[in-house]
Amino acid sequence: MGSSESFNLATSQKNVLLVDLNNEAPFPTLAIGYLTTPLKNAGYNVDVFAPLAYVNKILPRDVEETWKNYAVQRIRFAAHPMIEWANNLIYNMVSKYRFRPTKPFKEAVAEQINKEKVDVVLISAYLQYHEMATEICARAKQQGIPVLLGGPFFNVKDVTKEWLDMEGVTAIFGGEPEFVLDKLVDDLIHERDLSLHPGIFTKSNFAVAQAAPPLKMTKDLPIPDLGFFSWDNHPHRIIPLMTGRGCGWGKCLFCSDVTTASTRSYRTRPEQAVLEELELQSKRYDCKNFIFFDSKMNSDLEMWNCIIDNMQKVVPGATWVATVHVDGKGVNGLERETLQKAHDAGLRRMGFGLETGSQKLNNRMLKGTKVERMGQFIKDASEIGISLRASVILGYPGETYQDIEQTILFIEEHFEQLDRLHLAKFKAIPSTAFETRFKKKPFKYPSISHLEWNNMFARADYKFSPPEKNKYRNAKRRLIKLIHDVNKRPLMDSAQQFNGIM
């Protein structure tokens, strides 16, 4: 009998509870699919528990706004002295309430852990779910079950250190576990030394432990098993997929997407492997709608063109959405001819980072885009019939009311061509290029003061004081209203199946 057969026999009766503390969307969590496949291939019995999908209400993203949404945004971005002081307090209170372990949540956790013998608990978590993760770990500890915790930010040691204090956590993994997870689980169950695995953090080895190096995107990367998802509970089936990890640009100072566990460097998958996954997943789950989770889908132009040229060949009738980076140095796969081909291949929505209509602030962010080129891209994509969703940042260090005025002018010019705008406050996040620059030369950021890092949640609290405050407040108020006017309109009919997911 071969060694792999022996391993499968040894693990076939072992039960893994995989907890998905990520999913608040109407489609399966891609990361959970990537974890499920190698465990099942190794012979483990895998039960996926997604309490947020079944206990808490799913929050759709960027749907048609009402006056209530506008009122919330006015309060959230308020800079009036009578309100500004309370913003952080309100935000923290709302977050604590929103992400608390409710009674139904606790009951669901207890039922999952107690309904049958669980040999190991694996938790995949975003940082806002700390209290929920604490509840799960405490319940597991009562039953004497080891817990391995993972998630996108646990390659950052300052963050991992805070979470290691959670009672009941056996170890935390910082990295991409697809090729080592079965061995980690086996060592957990048999109480072997986990510190021999790169990327493992425990209290005893924390001082010397390091994050695991980024994976190579080979053809052997497992195809995600998404069978755990309750497909029949959602009107539009949507399959998540990635052609690569990281971002081909990767220089924006504010961006944490290029510093987390799976996106620390740009790596693309073999084209044939992606096409085979598209075809297989479509047949498995009887679905022709796809959402690509690449940070920037056009990072690799060969892959971008491969998807455009072959999508309808491998999945006839497919529709899909993707996020792109509008490069200021060239067309970068977003010229009108290619956009038309992409639409013909089923592309119905695109997301991109506008962030600002000010070229000066754009350069300060190291966005690598040109406002003029952005405008041409928006015009071309909209006329072709592609729905557009852009992100906008308020409060970036050094932003002035003139920068906001430029953003207003840009949005007004393209008002009819934009379907959704997502307005976000600038976030100071550990491990980003902004953190590095701020720590070295804080005097270059006079609008930022009283900054305190909160590594538990990978963010910072600070005071933002732009010059000419009254003019800044007035410009910000006008921008919020303008964005609301864009967002209160219905999405174009051809993209309705993707409404609320990006």
**290-317 per-position pLDDT tens digit:** 999 999 999 999 999 999 999 999 999 9
- H helix and E strand count, the chain: 17, 16
Nearest to 259 by CA among 497, 433, 36, 142: 433
Mean pLDDT of the chain: 90
Domain covering 3-56+102-201, topology: Rossmann fold (3.40.50)
Per-residue pLDDT averaged across 415-439, rounded?
93
Are 155 and 261 contacting, i.e. CB atoms less than 8 angstroms apart?
yes
275: enclosing H helix or E strand: helix 271-284
The domain limits of the chain are 3-56+102-201, 235-498
pLDDT, tens digit (0-9, with 9 covering 90-100), for 69-126: 888 888 788 766 666 666 767 777 777 777 888 888 888 888 888 877 899 999 999 8
Q: What is the pLDDT of residue 256?
A: 87
Q: Determine the Cα–Cα distance for residues 94 and 73; give it in Å rounded to an integer.
A: 14
Are 169 and 149 contacting, i.e. CB atoms less than 8 angstroms apart?
yes
Enter the tokens of residue 332.
């970068």
Per-residue pLDDT averaged across 482-487, rounded?
96
Terminal Cα-to-Cα distance of the chain (whole angstroms): 49
**What b-and-e string marks burial along 295-316, b requiring 16 or more CB atoms within 10 Å of the CB?**
bbbbbbeebbbbbbebbeebbe
What size, in residues, is the chain? Answer: 502
Per-residue pLDDT averaged across 467-479, rounded?
94
Q: What is the pLDDT of residue 38?
A: 96
Which residue did the predictor score with more confidence, 57 or 147? 147
Q: Determine the Cα–Cα distance for residues 83 and 103; give it in Å rounded to an integer.
A: 33
pLDDT, tens digit (0-9, with 9 covering 90-100), for 2-25: 445 545 555 567 999 999 987 667
Q: Determine the Cα–Cα distance for residues 490 and 486; give it in Å rounded to an integer.
A: 9
pLDDT, tens digit (0-9, with 9 covering 90-100), for 423-433: 999 999 999 99
Q: Determine the Cα–Cα distance for residues 227 and 239; give it in Å rounded to an integer.
A: 11
The pTM (predicted TM-score) of the whole model is 0.91
Per-residue pLDDT averaged across 414-418, rounded?
97
Bridge partners, residue 66, by sequence: none
Q: What is the pLDDT of residue 25?
A: 73
The one-letter code for the residue type at 51 is P
Residue 1 clears pLDDT 50, i.e. is over it: no
The one-letter code for the residue type at 420 is R
* Domain 235-498, second-level architecture: Alpha-Beta Horseshoe (3.80)
Q: Backbone phi, then psi, for 212, in 5-degree steps?
A: -70, 145
Are 125 and 29 contacting, i.e. CB atoms less than 8 angstroms apart?
no
Q: Determine the Cα–Cα distance for residues 91 and 443; give it in Å rounded to an integer.
A: 28
